[in-house]
């Protein structure tokens, strides 16, 4: 699958998760041009892809995992968004998905836990997001499943991005579930609108998704 196809596929996933609430989001007090720009981008991408690809990101996991592995050793930094500055757990996941597929996930791990389709631990596939309770509240940590009960993540302050074994007692005790980005989600309308606004802000600042 080519890089362009990855980006188009990812845009369709974003479209699937967000376009259902787009009409409602239009009523929010945003500049008319900005909302029209977002709508046209999403609609154009959907029309190009609707009959040619599925709404699953799983098919592009080879590139996703490869990009993630290249970041092994990058230092952890709370609130970090780039490898140069350092990355926290959600910043790492967000960076890898954006670099691979060309779209942004929500910034916080708890928000990421509402995107995609919930999957059982026994059904995990490479590329799935895995969540853990490491800060005494649900979905406070996130990583990317790479197969064979392993996941890659940015652990904590003073450490660096690495691969860990989910069968170890520490992670088994704190496991919170997993999500697969296949176009399905359990987001509320309010969450959908907020995520759409995040995309609008991205376009307004950089001119691209």
Distances in Å between the Cα of 177 and the Cα atoms of 119, 129, 155 are: 7, 9, 17
Active-site annotation holder among 6, 153, 179, 192: 153
DSSP state of 114: T
Helix (H) or strand (E) holding 19: none
Our answer to whether residue 150 is catalytic in this structure is no
Our answer to whether residue 136 is catalytic in this structure is no
Q: Residue 151 CA to chain centroid, in angstroms?
A: 15
Strand partners, 175: 132
Our answer to whether residue 86 is catalytic in this structure is no
Active-site annotation holder among 8, 12, 38, 89: 89
Active-site annotation holder among 141, 179, 180, 192: 141
Q: Are 161 and 153 in contact (CB under 8 A)?
A: yes
Closest CA to 145 of 61, 59, 54: 61
d(CA 38, CA 36): 5
Longest CA pairwise span in the chain (Å): 52
Q: In sequence order, what E strands does the chain have?
A: 81-82, 86-87, 117-119, 129-132, 141-147, 150-153, 162-165, 175-180
Residue with tokens 């757990």: 89
Residues annotated as part of the active site: 89, 141, 153
């Amino acid at each position: 699958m080519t890089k362009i196809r990855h980006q188009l596929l990812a845009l369709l996933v974003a479209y699937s998760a967000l376009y259902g609430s787009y009409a409602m989001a239009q009523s929010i007090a945003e500049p008319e041009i900005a909302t029209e720009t977002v709508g046209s981008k999403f609609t154009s991408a959907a029309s190009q892809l609707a009959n040619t690809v599925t709404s699953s990101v799983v098919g592009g996991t080879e590139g996703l995992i490869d990009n993630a592995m290249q970041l092994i050793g990058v230092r952890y930094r709370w609130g970090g968004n780039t490898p140069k500055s350092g990355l926290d757990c959600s910043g790492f996941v967000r960076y890898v998905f954006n670099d691979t597929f060309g779209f942004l996930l929500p910034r916080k791990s708890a928000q990421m836990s509402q995107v995609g389709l919930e999957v059982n631990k026994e059904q995990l596939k490479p590329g799935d997001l895995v969540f853990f309770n490491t800060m005494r509240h649900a979905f406070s940590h996130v990583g990317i499943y790479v197969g064979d009960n392993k996941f890659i993540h940015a652990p904590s302050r003073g450490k660096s991005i690495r691969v860990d074994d989910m069968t170890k007692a520490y992670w088994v005790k704190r496991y919170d579930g997993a999500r697969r980005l296949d176009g399905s989600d359990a987001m509320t309308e309010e969450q959908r609108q907020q995520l759409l606004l995040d995309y609008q802000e991205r376009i307004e600042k950089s001119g691209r998704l």
